[in-house]
């Protein structure tokens, strides 16, 4: 910063400044004006009547990103476009900020024709406020969609109405995925009681099952958010010994899980494990991806937050690095046999915003697209990939993956985001025995599933402050496990929860239960 | 900074004396004449002016949602009015004082521990006579500024974790105990401040170094003639020379007094340190984004900005009172 005065401009340089200034201005104005007019989503030319034949229908979709973002115009996308006669514009939303991004999209009302959402309070509020088309009355006209188990639809209903098509998932996926070789070597069986769990955890931490000479392995590890979402570790264990799945319902009276004995028993188990250093001490800041890494390094004996089908990818991934690793699965089971926390049966759902799909004719066009996704060729594409590239046909009818890693990279994003379910309109698969076991278990174990009775009930208080209420309990659990608060301290946090709105939630669930004819 | 202000003042030559009679008319035409004379100068200002109008002033109308029950599908104009409801709710929230305390403490720590450091560092660098060494150090301390918070927090996690983090392994070898730096509430502010200092202190020296380079060398020569040593020169020449820069930066800093740096705090929050770590910024996030209470979180944000405005006005007034130049 020198204090030299600005030189008077010579006439030639004046012209330059003139040019530059007007250039900058024009650019600035152009930038300011761009953006209007090219609003994503609906456009006038999509009138909907030309369903099926004619010009491809322009369809914008927002999906959750799984793995890497697929290249635009890749083979899979082209195949879908060709079969459904559409021109797809897919926006992939990163998983870490998915709900936030959806909230921003809803807040700004800039929505695509198909929007993947989770069954969370904000989305439910948006649906109640008429942001999405109600699909219940139309469902019967679409054979593939109508053919699915009613429970999938019931579990995403909002005030008894259907506002989307679920990304179908098996309800009974909860399973312990474990290192069979570790159990065999130590002469242990899968735990059933809390004492069993303690002993297995102790054995795996102290006996050096991976044989690297260091005490760096764990029976299982916790991570931040260990009890959030649809695969909560504490709840799953509590259910296995007779507890409830998030909420207990008895004669119309509702009790949250953390006021039940089995749940507290599980918390006490982890508190003991933490005190004896048999569980990772930094779990409150430990990321789940770090846990994956530790597992692939052969330091983890059991996974409690995944699903039965994961056993296949773990086996494949560790085949070369740790050949001795042998993975197996079993349902969560207590002293009285298998008892698992039922999942909601979806991986979010696909909603159709009214702001992007203006009239009924266009709605029908979008629904026809979704229905077509479950036709045999499309189901096969989503779940098996492209013949000759990802899979081959063996024994005349069965399919077999030829390049599973390539499938995971190129096809999985579509399989996870769109509509398909194993066993419907898709050829049988010929796979490793453990992979088949995983698929079968996820399907069959629905018989052991304990549902969450409050799943589709309406509580205005929970809608408004659910995140905070959950946070109070989540934090209290973590502090309890870490020994920072005792039973009285935990009780105090539960009282805080009750006062902050928990009591109101209970009351609202109870009346909503009556209303919906519980 | 001052140099610039002075420059613009002196560059406009004022024709004196002859127009005294028709003063009003001439002042008007003088203004116009200058505008025309320096039109390209003013033209260069325009992109900046447009930037502020389009990106800073126009979006401000959005704050009216703080006084509404904003519904996205009804838009800003269609939503119903709610008066001061959201502010009343915020002030009566049991969490309010905790948030206020956490935010205020971090802000004070920032002013007390962080703000002076770039000045000290700049003064030290200014005393370095080996040019190459000085350049090297400058470059090295600028680099952390370009590292994103996610990476900084990740690096600190690896260093500080109790599961094989290098600090804790050393502690364990020496004392037999580990300290859960990342979970312990009592360590939260210390770590937040250390991270801020590590990342930003070098970058903060830039303006001070620029101000220092503008100090007249003759002053030092004269002082040396009078027998002043290094410390005396620092005290009587260097510091007074950059005093106004320090004051202006302090005032500007106060404007963002309550900005705790959302990204940074959010990444460092853990279940065990939320009692000391939750600040207005993270609260706005939880309310506005995860729970979609747009109006309420807008009210909280507006309150925060309001405090910032008061602080800036207050500090500016104080600065002028003590004979310093303010920001306006």
Per-residue pLDDT of A259-272, as tens digits, reads 999 999 999 999 99
Say whether both A193 and A315 belong to one domain. Answer: yes
Q: A325 with A374, same domain?
A: no
Distances (CA, A) of B225 to B216, B222, B233, B322: 15, 5, 11, 31
In chain A, which among 95-124 make CB contacts under 8 A with chain B?
99-100, 103-104, 106-109, 121-122
> Checking DSSP bridges between strand A333-334 and strand A337-338, what pairing results, if any?
antiparallel
Residue B128, pLDDT score: 87
Q: Where are the beta strands (DSSP E) in A275-351?
A: 302-303, 327-330, 333-334, 337-338, 340-341, 346-351
Q: Residue A108 and residue B214: Cβ atoms within 8 Å?
A: no
How far is the alpha carbon of A280 from chain B, nearest alpha carbon, in Å? 7
Question: Chain A within 8 Å of B289 (Cβ-Cβ)?
Answer: yes
Range with the poorest average pLDDT among A438-452, B172-186, B187-201: B172-186
C-beta of residue A233 within 8 angstroms of C-beta of residue A222: yes
Asked if B50's CB is within 8 angstroms of A24's CB, the reply is: no
Q: Is residue B58 part of a domain?
A: yes
Asked, for residue B6, whether it belongs to a domain, the answer is no
A138 occurs within a structural domain? yes
Determine the average pLDDT of the residues in A228-251.
94
Q: Is there a domain that residue A205 lies in?
A: yes
Q: Is B71 on the interface with A (CB under 8 A)?
A: yes
**What's the whole-number mean pLDDT along residues B122-142?**
90
Which of residues B67, B92, B123 is at a domain's end? Answer: B67
- Domain endpoint, select from A407, A437, A456: A456
Q: Are residues B62 and B198 in the same domain?
A: no
Q: Are residues A262 and A368 in the same domain?
A: no
pLDDT in tens, A110-161: 899 999 999 988 898 889 888 999 999 999 999 999 999 898 999 999 988 9
Smallest CA–CA separation between B309 and chain A, in Å? Answer: 28
With respect to residue A312, please indicate whether it lies within any of the assigned structural domains: yes
CB contact under 8 A, B272 and A475: yes
B220 lies in a domain? yes
User: Are residues A186 and A216 located together in one domain of the fold?
Assistant: yes
Residues B92 and B172 in one domain: yes
Domain contains B35:
yes
Same domain (yes/no): B112, B195: yes
For residue A28, the chain B residue with the least C-alpha distance is: B47
pLDDT at position A11 over 60: no
CATH classification of the domain holding A304? 3.40.190.10
- A461 is a domain residue: no
Q: Cβ B72–A109 below 8 Å, yes or no?
A: yes
Is B94 domain-assigned? yes
Query: Is there a contact between A254 and A513 (Cβ–Cβ < 8 Å)?
Result: yes
Mean pLDDT of B309-320: 87
pLDDT band at B32 (very low <50, low <70, confident <90, very high): confident
pLDDT band, very low/low/confident/very high, at B315 (cuts 50, 70, 90)? confident
The model's pTM is 0.79
Any domain includes A100: yes
Query: Average pLDDT of B170-179?
Result: 88
Which of B93, B96, B177, B183 is the best mutation test for A, with the most CBs of A within 10 A?
B183
Mean pLDDT comparison of A3-7, A238-242, B260-264, highest-scoring range = A238-242
- Position B314 scores a pLDDT of 87
A441 in the Ramachandran plot: left (φ > 0), alpha (ψ -120 to 50) or beta?
alpha
Query: A355 or A25, which is more confident?
Result: A355
Q: Does B156 touch chain A (CB under 8 A)?
A: no
Domain that holds residue B203: 84-322
**Is residue A13 predicted with pLDDT exceeding 60?**
no
pLDDT value for A26:
47
**Direct distance between the N- and C-terminal alpha carbons of chain B, in angstroms, rounded to an integer:** 13
> What pLDDT score was predicted for residue B247?
87
Neighbours of A177 (CB within 10 A): 24
Task: Please tell me whether residues B310 and B217 are part of one structural domain.
Answer: yes
Residues B102 and B37 in one domain: no
Instruction: Find the helix or strand (DSSP H, E) in which A168 lies.
Output: strand A165-168
Q: Are A475 and B274 inside 8 Å of each other by CB? A: yes
| Tally of domains in chain B | 2
> In the predicted model, what is the mean pLDDT of residues A274-285?
92
CATH number, domain containing residue B237? 1.10.3720.10
Within-domain flag for A479: no
Asked whether residue B142 falls in the same domain as residue B227, the answer is: yes
Q: Which residue of A has its CA nearest to B181?
A: A282
In this structure, the answer to whether residues A201 and A335 fall within a common structural domain is: yes
- The confidence score (pLDDT) of residue B11 equals 41
Q: Give A18→chain B minimum CA distance, Å.
A: 7
Residue A516 has pLDDT above 90, yes or no: no
Tell me the residue range of the domain where A146 lies: 57-171+345-425
Residue B15 or residue B145, greater confidence: B145
A241 and A336 assigned to the same domain? yes
Q: What is the pLDDT of residue A93?
A: 93
Q: Which two tokens stand for residue B233?
A: 């020169």
* A73 lies in the same domain as A153: yes
What is the rounded CA–CA span in Å between residue B96 and residue A210? Answer: 50
Domain co-membership, A192 together with A155:
no
The residue with tokens 């004995």 is A261
Within-domain flag for A51: no
How far apart are the C-alpha atoms of A340 and A245, rounded to whole Å? Answer: 9
Is A15 within the bounds of a domain? no
Task: Give the residue carrying structure tokens 């130590």.
Answer: A186
In a domain, B217, yes or no: yes
Instruction: State yes or no: pLDDT of A25 exceeds 60.
Output: no
Tell me, yes or no, whether B240 and B316 share the same domain. yes
The answer on A216 and A298 residing in a single domain is yes
Judged on CB neighbours under 10 Å (0-12, 13-18, 19+), A343 is buried
Count of domains observed in chain A = 2
Q: Which residue has the higher pLDDT, B12 or B327?
A: B327
Comparing C-alpha atoms, which of A151, A98, A144, A127 is closest to residue A344? A151
- Does the structure show a pLDDT above 70 at A33? no
Residues near A304 by Cβ (< 8 Å), separated by ≥ 6? A176, A220, A233, A236, A237
Q: Which residue has the higher pLDDT, A385 or B326?
A: A385
Run of H or E including A380: helix A376-384
Report pLDDT digits (tens) over A311-349.
988 988 898 899 999 999 999 999 999 999 999 999 899
pLDDT score of B202 = 92
Please indicate, yes or no, whether residues A397 and A319 belong to a single structural domain of this protein. no
Query: A-contacting residues of B 86-115, CB under 8 Å?
Result: 94
Question: Chain A partners of B270 at a C-beta cutoff of 8 Å?
Answer: 224, 284-285
> What mean pLDDT do residues A40-45 have?
40
Distance from CA of A24 to the nearest CA of B (A): 7
What is the rounded CA–CA span in Å between residue B204 and residue A246?
50
Confidence of residue A8 (pLDDT cuts 50, 70, 90): very low
Looking at residue A518, what is its pLDDT? 62
B246 and B100 together in one domain? yes
Among chain B residues, the shortest Cα distance to A3 is held by: B3
Partner B contacted by A290 (CB < 8 A): no
Q: Looking at the structure, tell me whether residues B41 and B166 fall in a common domain.
A: no
Query: What does the alpha-carbon distance between residue B313 and residue B4 come to, in Å, rounded to a whole number?
Result: 23
Closest to B256 in 3D by CA, of B149, B107, B145: B107
In a domain, B72, yes or no: no
B193 shares a domain with B61: no
- Regarding whether B162 and B290 lie in a shared domain, the answer is yes
* Interface contact flag, A106 B72, Cβ < 8 Å: yes
Tell me, yes or no, whether A318 and A213 share the same domain.
yes
**Domain stop point among B40, B67, B94:** B67
**A461-474 pLDDT, tens digit each:** 998 888 889 999 99
Of A60, A55, A84, A90, nearest to A72 by C-alpha is A90
Task: Name the least confident of A283-297, A405-419, B251-265.
Answer: B251-265
- Whether residues B51 and B95 fall in one domain: no
Interface ipTM above 0.85: no
């Amino acid at each position: 910063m020198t204090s030299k005065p600005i030189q008077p401009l010579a006439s030639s340089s004046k012209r330059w400044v003139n040019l530059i200034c007007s250039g900058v201005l024009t650019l600035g104005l152009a930038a300011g004006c761009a953006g209007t007019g090219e609003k994503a989503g609906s456009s006038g030319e999509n009138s909907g009547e030309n369903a099926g034949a004619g010009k491809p229908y322009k369809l914008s979709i927002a999906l959750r990103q799984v793995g890497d973002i697929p290249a635009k115009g890749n083979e899979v996308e082209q195949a879908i476009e060709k079969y459904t006669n559409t021109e797809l514009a897919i926006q992939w939303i990163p998983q870490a900020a998915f709900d936030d991004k959806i909230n921003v999209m809803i807040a700004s009302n800039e929505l695509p024709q198909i929007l993947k959402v989770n069954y969370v309070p904000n989305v439910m509020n948006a649906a109640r406020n008429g942001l999405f088309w109600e699909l219940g009355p139309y469902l019967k006209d679409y054979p593939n969609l109508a053919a699915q188990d009613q429970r999938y639809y019931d579990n995403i209903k909002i005030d008894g109405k259907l506002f989307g098509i679920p990304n179908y998932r098996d309800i009974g996926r909860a399973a312990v995925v474990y290192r069979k070789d570790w159990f065999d070597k130590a002469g242990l069986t899968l735990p059933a009681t809390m004492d069993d769990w303690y002993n297995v955890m102790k054995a795996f931490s102290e006996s050096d099952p991976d044989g690297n000479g260091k005490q760096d392995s764990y029976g299982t590890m916790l991570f931040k958010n260990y009890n959030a979402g649809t695969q909560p570790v504490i709840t799953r264990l509590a259910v296995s010994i007779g507890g409830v799945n998030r909420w207990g319902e008895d004669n119309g009276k509702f009790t949250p899980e953390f006021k039940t004995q089995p749940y507290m028993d599980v918390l006490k188990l982890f508190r003991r494990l933490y005190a004896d250093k048999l569980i990772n001490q930094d779990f409150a800041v430990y990321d789940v991806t770090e846990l994956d890494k530790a597992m692939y390094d052969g330091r983890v004996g059991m996974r409690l937050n995944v699903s039965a089908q994961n056993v296949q990818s773990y086996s494949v991934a560790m085949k070369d690095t740790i050949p001795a690793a042998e993975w197996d699965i079993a349902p969560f089971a207590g002293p009285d046999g298998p008892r698992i926390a039922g999942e909601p049966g979806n991986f979010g759902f696909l909603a159709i915003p009214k702001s992007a799909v203006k009239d009924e004719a266009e709605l029908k066009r979008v629904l026809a697209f979704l229905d077509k996704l479950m036709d045999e060729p499309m189901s096969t594409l989503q779940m098996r990939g492209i013949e000759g590239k990802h899979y081959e046909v063996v024994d005349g009818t069965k399919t077999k993956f030829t390049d599973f890693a390539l499938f995971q990279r190129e096809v999985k994003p579509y399989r996870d985001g769109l509509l398909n379910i194993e066993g419907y309109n898709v050829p049988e698969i010929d796979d490793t025995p453990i992979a088949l076991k995983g698929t079968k278990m996820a399907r069959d174990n629905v018989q052991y599933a304990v549902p969450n009775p409050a799943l589709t009930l309406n509580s205005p208080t929970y809608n408004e402050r659910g995140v905070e209420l959950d946070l109070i309990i989540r934090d209290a659990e973590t502090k309890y496990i870490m020994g920072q608060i005792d039973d009285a301290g935990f009780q105090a946090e539960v009282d805080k929860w009750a006062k902050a709105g928990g009591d109101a939630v209970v009351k609202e669930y109870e009346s909503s239960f009556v209303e919906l004819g519980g | 900074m001052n140099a610039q202000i002075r420059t613009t003042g002196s560059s406009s030559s004022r024709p004196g004396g002859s127009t005294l009679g028709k003063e009003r008319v001439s002042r008007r035409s003088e203004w116009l004449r200058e505008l025309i004379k320096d039109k390209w100068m003013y033209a260069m200002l325009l992109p900046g002016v447009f930037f502020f109008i389009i990106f800073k002033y126009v979006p401000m109308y959005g704050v009216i949602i703080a006084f509404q029950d904003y519904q996205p599908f009804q838009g800003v104009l269609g939503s119903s009015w709610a008066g001061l409801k959201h502010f009343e709710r915020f002030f009566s929230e049991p969490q309010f004082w905790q948030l206020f305390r956490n935010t205020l403490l971090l802000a004070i720590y920032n002013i007390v521990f962080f703000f002076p450091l770039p000045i000290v560092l700049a003064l030290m660098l200014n005393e370095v006579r080996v040019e190459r060494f000085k350049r090297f150090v400058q470059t090295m301390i600028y680099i952390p500024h370009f590292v994103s918070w996610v990476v900084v927090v990740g690096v600190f996690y690896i260093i500080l974790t109790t599961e094989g983090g290098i600090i804790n392994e050393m502690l364990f070898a020496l004392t037999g105990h580990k300290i859960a730096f990342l979970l312990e509430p009592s360590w939260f502010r210390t770590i937040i401040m250390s991270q801020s200092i590590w990342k930003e202190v070098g970058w903060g020296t830039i303006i001070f170094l620029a101000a220092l380079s503008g100090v007249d060398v003759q002053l030092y020569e004269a002082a040396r003639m009078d027998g002043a040593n290094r410390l005396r020169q620092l005290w009587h020449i260097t510091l007074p020379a950059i005093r106004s820069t320090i004051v202006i930066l302090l005032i500007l800093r106060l404007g963002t007094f309550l900005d705790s740096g959302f990204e940074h705090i959010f990444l460092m929050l853990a279940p065990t340190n939320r009692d000391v770590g939750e600040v207005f910024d993270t609260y706005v996030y939880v309310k506005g984004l995860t729970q979609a209470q747009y109006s309420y979180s807008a009210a909280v944000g507006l309150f925060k900005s309001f405090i910032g405005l008061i602080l800036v006005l207050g500090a500016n007034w104080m600065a002028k009172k003590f004979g310093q130049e303010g920001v306006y």
